[in-house]
Structure 1
Amino acid sequence: MITRALYSRSRRLYSLLQHLQSHISQTHRSGAYPISPSPVDLSRISSVRPFLFTRLCTQTMKLDPSSLAEDVNEICRVLSDFRSPHHDIESALDCFLGKISCNLVEQVLKRCKNLGVSAHRFFLWAQRLPGFNHSRESYHILVDILGSGKQFPLIWNFLFEMRESGDSEIRSEIFWIIFRAYCRADLPADAIRAFNKMDDFGIKPGIDDLDQLLYTLCKRKLVKHAQEFFERVKFEFPPTRKTYSILMRGWGDTGNSTEARKLFNEMLERGCSTDVLAYNSLLESLCRDGKMDEAYKLFREMRLYGLEPDACTYSIFIRASCEANDIHSVFRVLDRMRRYSLVPNVFTYNCIIKLLCKKAMVDDAYLLVDEMLERGVSPDLWSYNAIQAVHCDNCEVNKALMLISMMKRDSCMPDRHTYNMVLKMLIRVGRFDRAMNVWEGMGESGFYPSVSTYAVMVHSFCKKKGKLEDACRYFEMMIDEGIPPYPCTCDLLRDRLLQFGFREQIQILADKMLRSTSCLIQELSNTMRGDKAYARSRAEDIIV
């Protein structure tokens, strides 16, 4: 795998040099040069980056759509290999000069959301290329990546640079992403400060921005902070029924129907017209608070105001019954929806499937999946994985494998959770042949194992008598693919090898890791050797 990657990168660089030679020759033939150009010095071009070479790579070469996926994979590999701040990622990226496009950058960023530092450095590297401008979507993706990694100082520096350079217009959507990042980090005060900073970047916040902030706070169950801020600004930003519905739903998610009812009454007092969404928000809060009688009373009240309950209204009662483990009430409401030709969404169906699996009613869960397909609702991974978990817990090999085939038939491709569950179960029951078949079939389905799937294989084989060689084989495959293993995987495999006296094999694996193109794998070779103090210090350096 490493040889293939190096060959591919060398071939890419060689093709760039060929293109440059051809361009110069054509220019000479057209009379632009009075003298014959010197031959291209490959050694110099590979070590330096002249302006002409960069300009030709970024402007004259066209991206071959057929090679886009390969380029995305290889750039992501580089970002993974050079993920630490002290790694020289820029030099490693130079061989991709002629391949950079807005589409490619967006796809790379989407694939590398867990590599904040590397993604940021890749973005800046591409930004410096002459003639290249990032798309607005790329800016949004990068801010989301930095927010997910809690790199808030980098976000603000990035925004200041955007404001000063004027390379891209700063819009409200970027601040909505920042709201989400702060709320995910449980920093509601900072999310509110970000709202107040919008003016500094030429954006006058409006009711839509307020709704986004309140929604994000409520979604993370930071409703108290949302309510307090709403009370401070509600006269500056006249709230709509959508604003009230967001807050009511937020209080409902925390089970506080009293506060939700207060907001509902305030909405009526301010003259906001009610709609089904507002009623659904209050119904949700009542059901979550266990006040089912009051919820049914409000449900009947809707029709008095000329409001017809929709699928969401009935789904609220279905989910409440699922929470109460009341399967009979679930199907009573579901039957009523069928009579009114109302179709639950996939989330509501999944709640029912989860309850059926919990009650060991797997056959009924399959019937519900069939109903979803008949009614135009596509089952998702949650639908199938809930059933798959039961098969794996019960060691039902044939049913688990049949479900994987069913998922592929229904165009819902298994994910790492599906494969991890099934592989772990197959190795646990000793069906190694079936495990190999599943492993080989993953690539045919377009799924490529990540570190967690390799860890399942290594850990599972380490626990099986006589399968230590297989554990080493999958560990080596992971290293060959350039995927850094978990430190605990290194520790487990090393301990098992020591237990059986295979010290030489430990050294072989550590040497193989040291020869990897991934800097992180090289550093983990010390963990394999047992130098935990060094590995811990390197991990701390990476975090810093």
Structure 2
Amino acid sequence: MGRMKFGLFKEERKMKKRVREDPTTTGAKLLNIRRQGLEPQFVGNRIPGEQQKCVNLGSDVDVNIVLARISHGTSEDEVLQSLLSDPACDSIQISDNFVNRVLYRFKDDWKSALGAFRWAQSRPNYKPSPELYDKLVDILGKMKKMEKMRSLLDEMHADHLISLNTIAKAMRRFAGAREWKEAVRIFDELGKFGLEKNTESMNLLLDTLCKENRVQQAREIFYELKLHIPPNANTFNIFVHGWCKFNRVEEAYWTIQEMKGSGCCPCVISYSTIIKSYCQQFNFQKVYELLNEMQGEGCVPNVVTFTTIMCFLTKSGAFEEALKIAERMKSVGCKPDTLFYNALIHTLGMAHRLQEATRVLKVEMPRNGVQPNTSTYNTIIAMFCHHLQEERAEEFLRDLESSPFCKPDVQTYFPLLKLSFKVGKADEFLKKLLNDIVNKHHLSLDLSSYALLIHGLCRANKCEWAYLIFEDMVRQEITPRYKTCSVLLQEIKQKNMYEAADKIELFMKKMKAA
């Protein structure tokens, strides 16, 4: 079939990088010229949102000047000096908006972020806002540069810039770096920063610890603090989430009882969190008990609660029981949303009730004013593909393509690609699908899609085509699974494609050495 043009080739990605770094008319023209040779339809039929992206890039010309002056891997001091010594940087008008955009670009490069921040600080008549300091705190903490973060906190403290938001970011980053005791110390020093130890700040600390799986430590700290700081419903919900995340659902349930004893009313989120945990254990007896308890206390389950239960019942194979959940939901007056309908369509498909699933999309959703999304169509397309009903699957694909609400994504095509191999149509039908993915919808294949194609083509005795796809995959810098390489190599050797076999073997050696 010739060399496939999956996604953007390496040369075009370089062009795109040049446009990001120099989003001028010239840079944009270079990319468009390349696209005209690669994908003629692409320029005239820009994908949704891309035009806006180009506009945003154009507004970042001043940021790109800074980016161009910074070499990757240099220290923050070298970054500062390079910007101070460059006349082009002197002409940039510094504002909070500008610094915010610079920090966003350097969110994964703490040296450049800190150096550029110091350069902005040095400019006359400019002082960064406290919110920008907070962003820098977050970047340093995210990169595990805790000493740098501490120094910045000291600097902020000296200038009276520390807020509760600063404290929240610092505590989260300390806990994320496994320095949870430092997070507690920051809380203990709130008074030094002019902040109050109250329910809000206590909840921030407890939430930080629970999210980092330090629920037991959070619990011990809570027992000390509650003598002086009154808890609220959110305090207990933090522990409900924490215990459930730690897979100690019984502790979460007893937290609900403790919550009631403290005069706080559990909300639908409290119960739904525990219900989800019982669902994950497939303990549906407990699920129903808790559902009844909720309704008995006047806490009406919401659409998320019912959707969760339905999904896990379907996963357990209890399709009819899952469909009863839909009826129970209607009986309490809970209105369905798109995610609920997606789950319902999936359940009906698994129960081999395809006509009813179709009716949900075609009749029930429009009647209730609920708009489908891409996942809705993906679910029903996958359902018909699973039942080898190619024409029905293509019918809904056409509906999705013409929908004013959503468009296909890579996941839309995965079951269709799989179906093409199942029904023995690894020729024209597959070529059409790939052409639609790349040239019609301008989508890039992911790892799973590439693997599916290579394995499927090898089974269909089309290893030459599979090798072209393998080459393109590597060119896109998507690393194939070792098993995929092994399967392809075996087929290639049988066809006496020695040069291709040598390349695959070399690639596999590099994978092992990495």
Pair 1:503 & 2:495 matched: no
Which amino acid is the alignment partner of residue 503 of structure 1?
Y
Q: Deviations over 1:466-499 (max 9, x none)?
A: 342x22333343455x424336355554554344
Deviation at 1:325, TM superposition (A): 5.1
CA distance in 1, matches of 2:212, 2:179: 14
Which one has more relative contact order, counting CA pairs under 8 Å at least 6 apart?
2
Q: Given that residues 249 and 285 in structure 1 are in contact (C-alpha distance below 8 angstroms), is that contact kept between their aligned partners in structure 2?
A: no
What residue in structure 2 maps to residue 441 of structure 1? 436
Which amino acid is the alignment partner of residue 237 of structure 2?
S
Would the alpha carbon gap of residues 209 and 324 (structure 1) be closer, same or farther in structure 2, given more than 3 Å must change?
farther
CA distance in 2, matches of 1:441, 1:465: 24
1:422 corresponds, among 416, 420, 423, to: 416
Q: Given that residues 195 and 205 in structure 1 are in contact (C-alpha distance below 8 angstroms), is that contact kept between their aligned partners in structure 2?
A: no
Would the alpha carbon gap of residues 226 and 9 (structure 1) be closer, same or farther in structure 2, given more than 3 Å must change?
closer
2:54 corresponds, among 67, 89, 112, to: 67
Which amino acid is the alignment partner of residue 269 of structure 1?
G
What residue in structure 2 maps to residue 32 of structure 1? none
2:259 corresponds, among 256, 267, 273, to: 267
CA distance in 1, matches of 2:373, 2:391: 21
Which amino acid is the alignment partner of residue 453 of structure 2?
M
Unpaired stretches in structure 1, ≥5 consecutive residues:
19-63, 511-526, 540-544
Q: Given that residues 172 and 183 in structure 2 are in contact (C-alpha distance below 8 angstroms), is that contact kept between their aligned partners in structure 1?
A: no
CA distance in 2, matches of 1:413, 1:223: 42
Counting aligned pairs with the same residue, the percent is 22
Deviation at 1:343, TM superposition (A): 1.1
CA distance in 1, matches of 2:196, 2:386: 55
Q: Given that residues 303 and 336 in structure 2 are in contact (C-alpha distance below 8 angstroms), is that contact kept between their aligned partners in structure 1?
A: yes
CA distance in 1, matches of 2:99, 2:218: 37
What residue in structure 1 maps to residue 233 of structure 2? 241
Would the alpha carbon gap of residues 506 and 279 (structure 1) be closer, same or farther in structure 2, given more than 3 Å must change?
closer
CA distance in 1, matches of 2:160, 2:453: 46
CA distance in 1, matches of 2:260, 2:461: 70
CA distance in 1, matches of 2:132, 2:491: 45
Which amino acid is the alignment partner of residue 398 of structure 2?
S
CA distance in 1, matches of 2:368, 2:210: 32
Would the alpha carbon gap of residues 294 and 479 (structure 1) be closer, same or farther in structure 2, given more than 3 Å must change?
closer
Would the alpha carbon gap of residues 433 and 451 (structure 1) be closer, same or farther in structure 2, given more than 3 Å must change?
same
Q: Deviations over 1:281-314 (max 9, x none)?
A: 67777887523664365245324xxx66655666
Unpaired stretches in structure 2, ≥5 consecutive residues:
1-8, 27-50, 80-85
Q: Deviations over 1:192-214 (max 9, x none)?
A: 65354354895766534544565
Bigger shift: 121-130 or 409-418? 121-130
Deviation at 1:530, TM superposition (A): 5.5
What pairs up with 1:320-359 in 2 under 5 angstroms? 326-338=318-330, 341-359=333-351
CA distance in 1, matches of 2:134, 2:236: 28
Q: Given that residues 371 and 405 in structure 2 are in contact (C-alpha distance below 8 angstroms), is that contact kept between their aligned partners in structure 1?
A: no
Deviation at 1:103, TM superposition (A): 7.9
Deviation at 1:244, TM superposition (A): 1.9
Which amino acid is the alignment partner of residue 394 of structure 2?
L
Pair 1:465 & 2:465 matched: no
User: SS in structure 1 opposite 2:144?
Assistant: helix
What residue in structure 2 maps to residue 194 of structure 1? 183
User: SS in structure 2 opposite 1:342?
Assistant: coil
TM-score, normalised via structure 1 length: 0.60
Deviation at 1:241, TM superposition (A): 1.6
CA distance in 1, matches of 2:229, 2:480: 49
Would the alpha carbon gap of residues 364 and 483 (structure 1) be closer, same or farther in structure 2, given more than 3 Å must change?
same
User: SS in structure 2 opposite 1:239?
Assistant: coil
CA distance in 2, matches of 1:326, 1:12: 51
What residue in structure 1 maps to residue 393 of structure 2? 400
Would the alpha carbon gap of residues 180 and 325 (structure 1) be closer, same or farther in structure 2, given more than 3 Å must change?
farther
Q: Deviations over 1:110-163 (max 9, x none)?
A: xxx9xx5xx55665676577679999999888988998xxx7634664564575
Q: How many residues align?
A: 447
CA distance in 1, matches of 2:437, 2:146: 37
Would the alpha carbon gap of residues 497 and 467 (structure 1) be closer, same or farther in structure 2, given more than 3 Å must change?
closer
CA distance in 2, matches of 1:459, 1:207: 57
CA distance in 2, matches of 1:122, 1:490: 38
Deviation at 1:456, TM superposition (A): 3.7
CA distance in 1, matches of 2:390, 2:209: 44
Which amino acid is the alignment partner of residue 414 of structure 2?
N
Which amino acid is the alignment partner of residue 233 of structure 2?
R
CA distance in 2, matches of 1:421, 1:179: 44
CA distance in 1, matches of 2:345, 2:322: 11
Would the alpha carbon gap of residues 399 and 137 (structure 1) be closer, same or farther in structure 2, given more than 3 Å must change?
farther
Q: Given that residues 156 and 162 in structure 2 are in contact (C-alpha distance below 8 angstroms), is that contact kept between their aligned partners in structure 1?
A: no
CA distance in 2, matches of 1:168, 1:439: 59
Q: Given that residues 175 and 195 in structure 1 are in contact (C-alpha distance below 8 angstroms), is that contact kept between their aligned partners in structure 2?
A: no
Which amino acid is the alignment partner of residue 418 of structure 1?
T
What residue in structure 1 maps to residue 470 of structure 2? 475
What residue in structure 2 maps to residue 486 of structure 1? 480
Q: Given that residues 346 and 380 in structure 1 are in contact (C-alpha distance below 8 angstroms), is that contact kept between their aligned partners in structure 2?
A: yes
CA distance in 2, matches of 1:139, 1:413: 40
User: SS in structure 1 opposite 2:425?
Assistant: coil
Which amino acid is the alignment partner of residue 397 of structure 1?
E
What residue in structure 1 maps to residue 5 of structure 2? none
User: SS in structure 1 opposite 2:293?
Assistant: helix
CA distance in 2, matches of 1:271, 1:300: 19
Would the alpha carbon gap of residues 316 and 417 (structure 1) be closer, same or farther in structure 2, given more than 3 Å must change?
closer
Which amino acid is the alignment partner of residue 474 of structure 1?
I
CA distance in 1, matches of 2:454, 2:160: 47
Q: Given that residues 322 and 355 in structure 1 are in contact (C-alpha distance below 8 angstroms), is that contact kept between their aligned partners in structure 2?
A: yes
Deviation at 1:465, TM superposition (A): 0.8
Would the alpha carbon gap of residues 65 and 361 (structure 1) be closer, same or farther in structure 2, given more than 3 Å must change?
closer
Pair 1:532 & 2:512 matched: no
What residue in structure 1 maps to residue 144 of structure 2? 153
CA distance in 2, matches of 1:364, 1:124: 58
Which amino acid is the alignment partner of residue 444 of structure 2?
Y
CA distance in 2, matches of 1:314, 1:291: 14
Which amino acid is the alignment partner of residue 153 of structure 1?
K
Would the alpha carbon gap of residues 225 and 358 (structure 1) be closer, same or farther in structure 2, given more than 3 Å must change?
farther
What residue in structure 2 maps to residue 363 of structure 1? 355
Q: Given that residues 105 and 138 in structure 1 are in contact (C-alpha distance below 8 angstroms), is that contact kept between their aligned partners in structure 2?
A: no
